[in-house]
Amino acid sequence: MLPKLRAWKESKHRKPLSLKGIRQVGKTWILKEFGRRHYENTAYFNFDENEEYKQFFETTKDIDRITQNLMMASGQVIRPHSTLIVFDEIQECNKALNTLKYFCENAPAYHVACAGSLLGITLSKPASFPVGKVDFMDVMPMTFTEFLMANGDGNLADCLNSVDDIGLIPDAFFNPLCEKLKMYFVTGGMPEAVRMWTEDRDVGLVQRALSNILNAYERDFSKHAEKKDAPRLSLIWKSIPSQLARENKKFLYKAVKEGARAREYEDALQWLCDSALTYKIFRSTAPGLPISSYDDLSAFKLYLADVGLLRRLALLDPTAFGEGNRLFTEFRGALSENYILQALSGQSEAALRYWATENPRYEVDFILQHGNEVVPVEVKSEGNVRSVSLRKYKEKYGAKVKLRVRFSLQNLTLDDDLLNIPLFLADHATRLIDLAPARLSQHFTAFGTV
């Protein structure tokens, strides 16, 4: 994230920056750290903690007046070019949001970055946001590779980063990486939970940190959602583990509440998606481009933003860490799927989809648009890695399917057009997918010479 922020600072086309991401994902920390490293000072204003700052944006759009008032009220220094101005929880002050337009147009010498836990909700109401006048960056939970770095396992992270060919990972790295991945399924990627483990090695503190985060989200339901939607949000939220525990993980409103109907709950569901707390994955009817044009809007699956939060919401005890591969296989591999979804979402501009047929029933966990190719992806977390659905998908769509991907606990291999990626390499999936065509070309060239 810091390299991206440096590029923003140095860009001649820089606009005020908005960091989007769920509550407690680390937006505030990363902005303060960026300011500490790359500016003379950081002027920090939190509109949730200090509501008095809001009044400076009520009566004027003049940037000089606003900055003078902020400096006098806070005692902080604001200078063009050398100060990073941070507006935190900016969704609490719509006038400040609108003022970003005037920072962009009239005062580009000021470096302004803002963050908010529910900016996605604000963005869903365009009238309240200065469209075209703001740069955006998404802050996601820590990846497994970042977890390794925080955990003092830089050598294992270097191993993942150095994979530049499709070949077996030595056991000296493979086995420890599988064990570390189990711990990542316990903590997830929320910085506070990771810190509780990496600094204190205390699973109890990890549990408490995740519970506190989940409780904060539920408070947001009551505080920020429409009054009619708050109880529905809570019901949907609490139903997600049971939705994913079924063999067919397709979201069912009747699993939220007996007699529930889509029209009663769809606004609440959209709120969860806009807030980035959940991923909504539509069923795809065919591997075509653009991938969105083949969405079946009536069928979707719902995952959480973080695998650790899903584990905690499901009340799966961390003791499962010591029970073989149980964390990977629990409630039909939903944790593994959620983990893969997180990893791939950070590498792809297009949202993921899934593919399924009803009779007979086949399902491919995810459909990934990579460049101009549509890649089917299956997640296997048990010993049986037979990919029946991937095979049926290939039979159905033939030449349209250049490569199939399977994530599993087996080693890195390419068998014809089936690329098996170990679960712990998910952060590097698109790089490995890019390596596959050269290997396939070598294979077919050799086969043609026989």
pLDDT tens-digit readout, 97-135: 999 999 999 999 999 999 988 776 666 565 567 878 999
Helices (H), 246-306: 262-274
The whole-angstrom separation of Cα 372 and Cα 386 is: 27
User: Average per-residue pLDDT in the chain?
Assistant: 92
The alpha carbon dihedral of 50, 268, 23, 309 has a sign of positive
Q: What is the mean pLDDT of residues 59-86?
A: 96
State the pLDDT confidence band at 450, using cuts at 50, 70 and 90.
Answer: very low
- Which domains does the chain carry? 15-138 (3.40.50.300), 144-441 (no CATH)
Q: What is the mean pLDDT of residues 52-79?
A: 95
- What residues pair up with 216 in beta bridges, in sequence order? none
Q: What is the mean pLDDT of residues 259-275?
A: 94
- For the stretch 5-50, pLDDT in tens is 999 999 999 999 999 999 999 999 999 999 999 999 999 999 999 9
Whether the per-residue pLDDT at 175 is higher than 50: the answer is yes
Percent of the chain at pLDDT > 90 equals 84
The whole-angstrom separation of Cα 48 and Cα 30 is: 18
The whole-angstrom separation of Cα 66 and Cα 63 is: 5
- For the stretch 427-445, pLDDT in tens is 999 999 999 987 776 654 4
Between 38-52, 118-132, 170-184, 277-291, the lowest mean confidence (pLDDT) is in 118-132
Residue 391: how many other CB atoms lie within 10 Å: 13
Residue 361's identity, in one-letter code, is R
Let me know: does 63 contact 229? Beta carbons within 8 Å: no
- For the stretch 371-402, pLDDT in tens is 999 999 999 987 778 889 999 999 999 999 99
pLDDT value of residue 442: 63
pLDDT value of residue 129: 72
The whole-angstrom separation of Cα 221 and Cα 314 is: 19
pLDDT value of residue 208: 98
pLDDT value of residue 438: 79
Between 238-247, 365-374, 384-393, 441-450, the lowest mean confidence (pLDDT) is in 441-450
Whether the per-residue pLDDT at 220 is higher than 80: the answer is yes
Let me know: does 72 contact 43? Beta carbons within 8 Å: no
The whole-angstrom separation of Cα 58 and Cα 36 is: 30
pLDDT value of residue 369: 95
pLDDT value of residue 42: 97
Whether the per-residue pLDDT at 195 is higher than 50: the answer is yes
Whether the per-residue pLDDT at 449 is higher than 50: the answer is no
DSSP 58: T
pLDDT value of residue 52: 94
pLDDT value of residue 224: 85
Q: What is the mean pLDDT of residues 242-259?
A: 93
Percent of the chain at pLDDT > 70 equals 96
- For the stretch 138-163, pLDDT in tens is 999 999 999 999 999 999 999 999 99
State the pLDDT confidence band at 323, using cuts at 50, 70 and 90.
Answer: confident
State the pLDDT confidence band at 298, using cuts at 50, 70 and 90.
Answer: very high
pLDDT value of residue 447: 42
